[in-house]
Structure formats: C-alpha cells, structure tokens
C-alpha cells in the first residue's frame, strides 16, 4: 500500500516566520519514504502488517533566514485503513 503525504499548509505557516524554506526533513513512524525526502511532498510505502493503525509524520522545515537559523517542526497523525 502506498500513500502520498502533502503538508503544504505547514509550509505556509513556516514561511510566515520569515525567509524561504531551504530544506524539508521528513520522518515517519512506520513504513519507508520512497520519494520526495527534501521536498514538500513525499510518497510512502506502508507495510501490510503495521504495529499501529496510525502513522505519525514529522516534518522539520529549515528556513533560509539571514537573521537567524530558524526552523519549524510539525507533526501529524494519519489514520490508515485497509480499504
């Protein structure tokens, strides 16, 4: 099973801190990231046998801000169904 994770709303919140997004760092609690590490969207392979029915997605946005080494971190839990 595959899923596309897209957290553009978080990106918009991070941009409000000032500066452009320089780097995206994704982490997921189950499965593996197939495509998109470092971009605003990832493709995830979800294992058939999961320990949980929820995947936790963590995203760290590193901003290119000349005044500070700014970053924003966001987490979201995504419910997975076998349907």
Number of domains within the chain: 1
- pTM of the full predicted structure? 0.71
Enumerate residues 6+ apart whose C-beta is below 8 A from 48.
1
Q: What's the N-to-C CA distance of the chain in angstroms?
A: 10
Quick one: pLDDT at residue 27? 95
Residue 22's domain comprises 2-79
Counting Cα atoms < 13 Å in the Cβ hemisphere of 66 gives: 0
Average pLDDT value over all residues in the chain: 78
Rounded mean pLDDT of 19-48? 87
């Amino acid at each position: 099973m595959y899923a596309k994770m897209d957290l553009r709303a978080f990106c918009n919140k991070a941009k409000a801190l000032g500066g452009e997004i320089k780097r995206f760092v994704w982490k997921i609690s189950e499965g593996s990231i197939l495509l998109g590490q470092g971009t605003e969207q990832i493709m995830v392979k979800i294992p058939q046998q999961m320990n949980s029915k929820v995947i936790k997605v963590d995203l760290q946005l590193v901003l290119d801000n000349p005044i500070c080494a700014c970053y924003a971190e966001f987490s979201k839990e995504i419910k997975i169904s076998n349907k």
